Structure 1
Amino acid sequence: MPTQPDIMHADSARNDLAEAVRLLQAGELVAFPTETVYGLGADAANPEAVAKIFAAKGRPADHPLIVHLAGAGYLESWARDIPPVAWELAEAFWPGPLTLILKRAPGVPHAVTGGQETVGVRVPSHPLALDLLRAYAQAGGGQNGMCGIAAPSANRFGRISPTDAAHVREELGAAVALVLDGGPCDVGIESTIVDLSRDDQTPRILRPGRITPEQIEAVIGVRPEIANAKKASVPRVSGSLDAHYAPRTPLRLVSWDDLITQAHEVHAAGQRCGVLVRRQLLFPAPHSFRRLPDEPDGFARHLYAALRELDQCGNDVILVEAIPGDAVWAAVADRLRRAACGSGAA
């Protein structure tokens, strides 16, 4: 049986970040918490270390990574021709769940950008992530003195993102040298991604998240466009494929009335049914059941953990109560739509 990575609990982790920094500088993988999900970290300036991320996740080589920084002061090492609007958004939302897509600086490896001339960068707000990034920078960073940690979600490619250290251990095992345990993630879904790489053009949202178009407009005075990720002119970014964030169990998004009907049909067929809802069940409980808060932030915070639990209960199908069409639910709706598309794969 493969050796599991060490998990450092919050108190000890804060006192032993030197080991995490040492491993990163040696080209190894370290998983760490952010406010969104747990990231699988490597020295973003080291193509060989970055390649280990792709190998551990089974991630396509042309799928770009997000570089995590200790602060906006490191931005110019990773991006060039940075527009004023980028600094405005950084001032307003960093540290926090906002990723900016900018033109790649000359020293940024194409291994990180998926071969593109753009790079995604953000400053996470989780205290342990910030401690790690600051300690890494203070120790001189990675190759060529660049202080950035590339960190996609710490799970197999296309599967449910981890929001707890135990999820990382279950999913990646010995592929990760060290897992820093910062407890459950507070936001629970991935960051908003905004494209600022086009000269003098309206910013575009490439992936919805906790930071909304309305919040962005309030800062920059312009409402960002919602980009069509399938257009050739749109940079490839994390989480933009039709199938993503998916359980192995087939997942269906259904209305409340259809959920009741389909749950009875699954039972009648002698199969196991998992149900994820926002309201009280008014019919006999399914084989496994999770009820999440009926508001978007609370729902998002617990979504991936709930899907992971339902995926591990031996269900033949997972039925999820359809999400409201309101704009405040857009990020959750995006994740569930992609999860339904990718679910059921071996």
Structure 2
Amino acid sequence: MQTRVLKVNPKNPSLSQIRQASKIIRSGGTVAFPTETVYGLGANALDSKAVKKIFDAKGRPADNPLIIHISDVADLGILSNNIPKTAFDLMEDFWPGPLTIVLKKSKIVPKITTGGLDTVAIRIPKNKIALELIRYSGTPIAAPSANVAGRPSPTRAQHVIDDLSGKTSMILDGGPTKIGIESTVIDLSRKTPMLLRPGGVTLEQLQKVLGKIAIHPIIHGKKTKTIHRSPGMKYRHYSPRAKIILIEGQKAIVNKKISQLLQSYKKQGLRVGILGTNIKSDMTITQGSQEKIAANLFRSFREFDAEKIDIILARGTSRKGLGLGIMNRLRKASYRKIIV
């Protein structure tokens, strides 16, 4: 398959380019496109054969549900017949934006799209290219991150090209994404709302609207046999080729531990990358605000790989605000975790 790459103005998308991409969606093909979080690999969410192409291109396990993207709240009724008032409260505050809501699915949604579950995950993205693509396609679009399963999510078109060139018909290059980590996912199909995946909308923001929110134990690193109703829960995700060691604790103690590990791995002849502190190594990437950390996290993983780094020593950050989503990604990507 030959992949066409179209550079699209993110503020004023070309109607001609959008029509070309939407034609592919309507004909059962796949298109990679930017959202405000990461790039997604999209197909007609209501076409089982089209959705299967997403799983095939990514090498994604069939029981890992997809998020459906819509352009208007009016389309929600097509996908779910059971929409609680709390859903509309959240939509009013956070749509369009990085919030995915899990509801009971309608019969029209194929089981392949929901990973075989009786629930469906839905959001309206805050990105002009994405919204225009959905509108002109005339159908909800299922779109997980546009990367090979398990790899760092793409925040630039080049990341998509690196992973999926030859596996999708078209890539819409709308420049770097803004938020950098995937959407927050909240389950409203149960009596008490449950946070399934932290992301661009923080837990604190959700609590202001909903009050009491249960937190899925997997967010805190606990093993569970409960049904996984959201992407990013069941499998290892976001991982670079290098092995990440996540170190948490008081800053001074963490830095000391990183220095010790650095010397140990260097003696073994390994190339070591440092993430989150200015300790010098083969490659060091410091961090700023939580917004900057999130925006650059997955890009940093890919940059470490480009430099053939063997081990990444990553300093943890606060779990408050956007930090909960950042730490969720770091934990899922890590092969070892150390608390000092």
> Could you tell me which residue of structure 2 aligns to residue 29 of structure 1?
30
Q: Is the 8 A contact 1:14 1:128 kept in 2?
A: no
Q: Is the 8 A contact 1:54 1:61 kept in 2?
A: yes
1:170 aligns with 2:169: no
Q: Distance in 2 between matches of 1:241 and 1:209?
A: 16
Q: Distance in 1 between matches of 2:275 and 2:72?
A: 38
Q: Distance in 2 between matches of 1:342 and 1:174?
A: 34
Q: Distance in 1 between matches of 2:326 and 2:224?
A: 23
Q: Which amino acid aligns with 1:266?
A: Y
Q: Distance in 1 between matches of 2:327 and 2:128?
A: 28
1:256 Cα deviation from its structure 2 partner: 1.6
Task: Give the counterpart of 1:300 among 294, 314, 320.
Answer: 294
Seq. identity, %? 39
Q: Could you say what secondary structure the match of 1:101 adopts?
A: strand
Q: Could you say what secondary structure the match of 1:77 adopts?
A: helix
Task: Give the counterpart of 1:243 among 225, 236, 247.
Answer: 236
Q: Which amino acid aligns with 1:247?
A: P
Q: Is the 8 A contact 1:154 1:168 kept in 2?
A: yes
> Could you tell me which residue of structure 2 aligns to residue 14 of structure 1?
14
Task: Give the counterpart of 1:184 among 171, 176, 183.
Answer: 176
Q: Distance in 2 between matches of 1:19 and 1:327?
A: 39
- Relative to structure 1, the CA distance from residue 326 to residue 84 in structure 2 (aligned partners, 3 Å threshold; closer, same or farther) is closer
5+ residue gaps, structure 1 = 142-146
Comparing 57-66 with 210-219, greater Cα deviation is found at: 210-219
1:99-129 Cα offsets, whole Å, 9 max, x none, are 0000001111111011111000000001211
Q: Which amino acid aligns with 2:30?
A: L
> Could you tell me which residue of structure 2 aligns to residue 207 of structure 1?
197
TM-score normalized by the length of structure 1:
0.89
Q: Could you say what secondary structure the match of 1:95 adopts?
A: coil
Comparing 306-315 with 187-196, greater Cα deviation is found at: 306-315
Comparing 299-308 with 322-331, greater Cα deviation is found at: 322-331
1:296 Cα deviation from its structure 2 partner: 1.4
Q: Which amino acid aligns with 1:183?
A: G
Q: Distance in 2 between matches of 1:72 and 1:287?
A: 49
Q: Is the 8 A contact 1:256 1:322 kept in 2?
A: no
Q: Is the 8 A contact 2:42 2:144 kept in 1?
A: yes
- Relative to structure 1, the CA distance from residue 169 to residue 310 in structure 2 (aligned partners, 3 Å threshold; closer, same or farther) is same
1:298 Cα deviation from its structure 2 partner: 1.4
- Relative to structure 1, the CA distance from residue 25 to residue 242 in structure 2 (aligned partners, 3 Å threshold; closer, same or farther) is closer
Q: Distance in 1 between matches of 2:326 and 2:112?
A: 29
Q: Is the 8 A contact 1:6 1:178 kept in 2?
A: yes
> Could you tell me which residue of structure 1 aligns to residue 88 of structure 2?
87
TM-score normalized by the length of structure 2:
0.91
Q: Distance in 1 between matches of 2:275 and 2:224?
A: 33
1:270 Cα deviation from its structure 2 partner: 2.1
Q: Is the 8 A contact 2:204 2:321 kept in 1?
A: no
Q: Is the 8 A contact 1:216 1:223 kept in 2?
A: no
- Relative to structure 1, the CA distance from residue 129 to residue 157 in structure 2 (aligned partners, 3 Å threshold; closer, same or farther) is same
Comparing 181-190 with 268-277, greater Cα deviation is found at: 268-277
Q: Distance in 2 between matches of 1:108 and 1:232?
A: 25
Task: Give the counterpart of 1:340 among 312, 334, 338.
Answer: 334
Task: Give the counterpart of 1:195 among 187, 210, 217.
Answer: 187
Q: Distance in 2 between matches of 1:228 and 1:68?
A: 26
1:259 aligns with 2:262: no
Q: Is the 8 A contact 2:148 2:164 kept in 1?
A: yes
> CA RMSD, aligned part only?
1.8
> Could you tell me which residue of structure 2 aligns to residue 48 of structure 1?
49
Q: Is the 8 A contact 2:272 2:282 kept in 1?
A: yes
Q: Distance in 1 between matches of 2:331 and 2:209?
A: 29
- Relative to structure 1, the CA distance from residue 49 to residue 242 in structure 2 (aligned partners, 3 Å threshold; closer, same or farther) is closer
> Could you tell me which residue of structure 2 aligns to residue 226 of structure 1?
215
> Could you tell me which residue of structure 2 aligns to residue 310 of structure 1?
304
Q: Distance in 1 between matches of 2:162 and 2:224?
A: 36
1:96 aligns with 2:97: yes
Q: Is the 8 A contact 1:32 1:182 kept in 2?
A: yes
Q: Is the 8 A contact 1:241 1:338 kept in 2?
A: no
1:188-245 Cα offsets, whole Å, 9 max, x none, are 00100000012xx11000001121222112223x221101355455443100125211
Which segments of structure 1 move beyond 6 Å, counting only runs of 4 or more? none
